[in-house]
Every structure is written in C-alpha cells, then in structure tokens.
Structure 1
Amino acid sequence: MNLTFETYAGAIGASFLVSLTSMSGMFAFWIEPERLKRIIPYLVALAVGVLLGDAFIHLIPDAVARQGSISTVCLTVLLGMLLFFVLEKLVRWRHDHHVDVLGQQHDIRPIAKMNLMGDAVHNFVDGILIGGSFLVDPVLGFTTTLAIIAHEIPQEIGDVGALMYGGYSPEKAVLYNFYCSLTVVAGAVFTLLFSQLAESSLVFLLPIAAGGFIYIAATDMIPALHEHSTIANLVGQTIIFGLGIGFMQSIIMLEHTLLSQ
C-alpha cells in the first residue's frame, strides 16, 4: 500500500464526490407542492426497492464473500435488524416524550430519522470501500467510486422522498440527506488512517447495514405504502418497487464490469 499525497487526495476527493450525489433529490425544489405530495409515496416505493435490492443483491453477497460463512453473515444481519429495532424504540420514545416550547409534539416521523441512521451506516461502509480501493490502486479507486455513484443516485432520490414523507420540507430533506452522506468521507478517512482495522470491520458493517436496510424498508416504509390503497397506487407502487430492485441488479452488473477491467 502506497500512502502518497495522491492516494489521500484521490480517496477523500472521490468520497466527497459520492456525497454530492445526495443532491440528486434537489428536483423536489421545482415541483409544485400538491404534485409533490402525490409523487412522494412513489419515491418511498422506489426507496423500498432500492434498500431491499441493495441489502439482498449487494451487501449480503459481499459480506458472504468476505466472511466465507453464510450462517455467520445471516446472524449478523439479524443482529443489525435487532440493533435498528432498539434504535427505533429509542427514537419513538424520544418522539413521544419530546415537547417543544409551544407544548406541541415534534412533527417529524420516526421513519425519517431511521432512514438517516441507516443511510449513515451504509455511507460509512461506502467510504471504507473507496478508501481501501485507493490504497490498492488509484485506478481501482476511481472505478469503485463510479460503481458506488451509480447505485447511490436512485437510492438518494428515494431517501429524499422518504424524508419528505417523514415530515421534512424538501429543503431540509436534501440538506439533512447531504449531511448524512458526509459519513462517506468519514469512512474514507478512517480507512486511510487505520486501513487494516477498517478492512476487517467490513465483515460486520456490511451485514449490519443490510439488516438496517431490511428493517427500515419492512417496518417503516412498506407500512407507509399501505396508507395509499387505491388500484392506481397498487399498480404504480408495485412497478416502482420492482424498478428499484431492477436498478440495483443492473448496477451490480455494471459494478462487476467496471471492477473486472
């Protein structure tokens, strides 16, 4: 591993570039509020497909390849789900007990806060992957970055929709999503400073992130989709749910093409 200035600059610059993909949700700024309100459930459906697709098609297989034991990875995924269950209990407890200066409860739903937590863990993992790839070879670093950007764009669009559904304004949804995405940079810096520790931590962080994604999609987002139960909602959300999974499958194929060159 060659720890040159170019390695540090390339890894940190690439991770910040990935963070900027969180701004792909800025399209919400230019959509009329009433129309945006009708679109948001479909963005949540996209988020569900992308989160589940990422967990089952990307994160879990990657963890199995690194760990070598399917049962250990599955147990760690379950641990991740348990961890996010506890986190949501704490979020909901704080939500129920939080009273503002006017004596009214805070109006941000737990789904939004859980989405930010899950995305922060996933972004940190992406940062470790970027930092590690730059330590091996700058060319591998750039191809890894391109692959991560490809799967981040549909996910970030869905995340912004989930945050708006959870009560944030479009401006705050994009801003908080960007703040959350900066954990990519933190993951890259962590890897550059502690490369061996960062690499070994992926064995646990990948399935924990997968467990978090499965938990958030299944317990927070899918029930939210059932609040809209017309035939049009059923057809539209099912198609977009499937498209989210399809996006992740096609992007995994793209990643394999990029990283095999």
Structure 2
Amino acid sequence: MGLLIGDSLLHLLPHALGSHDDLSKIMLAFVIGATFLAFVENAVRVHRFDASVVAPAARMTLASDFIHHSVDGIILAGAFLASRAAGYAALAAIAIHEIPREIASAGVLVSNGYDPRRAFFLSLAMAIAVPTGAIVVAATLPSAKVAALTAAFAAGSILYVALADILPAAWLKASGSARLAPAIGIAAGVVSMWLLARGERA
C-alpha cells in the first residue's frame, strides 16, 4: 500500500511534471486516472459473482498494475528513442522500483482471496503490458508531453487503488496488536519509494 502511494506520488507524478510544462494538464490527467478507476471499480463490483472469494480490491490491483506497466513500457521506449544510455538508465530504474512494487501487489492479491501461486503468476502476467506499451511507442512515436500525461493518468489510478480499496480493507483487518499495521505499512512503503526515487535521480 505504501509502496503504491510512493510509486504514484514520488515516481510517476514527478516524472510527468518534469516532462510537461503545463501543470494544469498534468493534474487533470492525474484526476482523470483516479476517476477512471472509480468507474472500473463500479463495473467490477456490479459484475462480480456473489460466490467469489476474491475481493474487488484484488481485481482493482490487477487493473492498476496493467496500466502502470503500460506506462513503464512507454517510458522505456521513449528513453531508448532519446539515446541508448538513457534507455539503459530507464531500464535499470524500472527494474529497481518494480521489485518491491510487485511484492506489494502480490501481497494484496493473496490477502484479498487469490491463491499464492495464482497471485504470483497473475503479477507476472501483468508485466506483458511493458512490451505492449513499448510497441505502441515504437509504432506511434508519441511526444514527450503525451507520455507525461499518460504517466500522470497512471499515477492517479494507482493512488486511487491504494487509498480507496487497499487501505479500507487493511483497516478492517487491523485489530489488537496489528492496529497500527496500516499506518506503519504506509510509512515504510513511502520511505522505500522515496529512497528509490532519490537513487534514480542521482
């Protein structure tokens, strides 16, 4: 949860702001990303089977993972188009921040009803969006500003999942000695992503 919040606010959103000179457009894309996920969640909740043990938060996590990985592919392809050195730097940065993020996502899937093995393979399957995003860039050659708006959209969608789905579910399970777990988890995850973001810019 904290990793997702940090990924949204300390990685994707700063990347978008640094690649676009119109703050209002970036923030609008950010808000649209969160609003879009609200409509996705509405569809998930309406059409889910009553007998299913998988919570909507797990499906929302998968949706946000796919969007995020698509943006990673766009960023990666754009970096390689700029220069080979920039491409390899982006590849390293994406690999570094995806490891803790995928661990967090798999944990969310398991805690919301998925079998651990299936959660692992679903997390890996979402990674197919990375080459998909890269192929889209290679085919369409979008501008840096378009890529920045896409990153802001993804940041909004990820923040929505973390705060609207995962955090409420965590509070429901927090009791006794675990009552501080959600707050501690957020703090630890945000600090981790802050350190990774600082390392990427170093």
TM bucket normalised to smaller? over 0.9
Letter of the structure 2 residue corresponding to residue 189 of structure 1: I
Is 2:44 the counterpart of 1:91? yes
Structure 2: segments with no counterpart, 5+ residues: none
Is 2:86 the counterpart of 1:160? no
Q: 1:204: which partner in 2?
A: 149
TM-superposed CA distance for 1:170, in Å, is 0.6
TM-superposed CA distance for 1:81, in Å, is 1.2
1:199–1:76 distance in 2 versus 1, CA, 3 Å: same
Q: Structure 2 length as normaliser, TM-score?
A: 0.93
In our comparison, the structure showing a higher alpha carbon Rg is: 1
Report the Cα distance in structure 1 between the residues aligned to 2:144 and 2:24, rounded to whole angstroms: 20
TM-superposed CA distance for 1:85, in Å, is 0.5
Report the Cα distance in structure 2 between the residues aligned to 1:193 and 1:76, rounded to whole angstroms: 23
Q: 1:256: which partner in 2?
A: 201
Higher RCO (CA-CA < 8 Å; seq separation 6+): 2
Any conservation in 2 of the 1:191–1:199 contact (CA below 8 Å)?
no
Structure 1: segments with no counterpart, 5+ residues: 1-47, 99-103
Q: 1:135: which partner in 2?
A: 81
CA RMSD of aligned residues (A): 1.6
Report the Cα distance in structure 1 between the residues aligned to 2:174 and 2:62, rounded to whole angstroms: 26
More deviation, 48-57/70-79: 70-79
Letter of the structure 2 residue corresponding to residue 183 of structure 1: A
**Count of aligned residue pairs for this structure pair:** 202
Partner SS for 2:172: coil
Any conservation in 2 of the 1:114–1:216 contact (CA below 8 Å)?
yes
Which of 152, 164, 168 is matched with 1:219 structurally?
Answer: 164
Superposition pairs of residues 107-256 of structure 1, within 5 angstroms: 107-195=53-141, 197=142, 199-256=144-201
| Per-residue CA distance 1:132-174 (angstroms, 9 max, x = gap) | 1122222221111111111111100000001112211011101
Q: 1:11: which partner in 2?
A: none
| Per-residue CA distance 1:84-131 (angstroms, 9 max, x = gap) | 000000010111xx3xxxxx6222211111101111111011111111
Partner SS for 1:67: coil
Partner SS for 1:226: helix
TM-superposed CA distance for 1:198, in Å, is 6.2
| Per-residue CA distance 1:178-219 (angstroms, 9 max, x = gap) | 111110011112222222x26443132111111111111111
TM-superposed CA distance for 1:62, in Å, is 1.7
Taking only the aligned residue pairs, the percentage that are identical comes to: 28
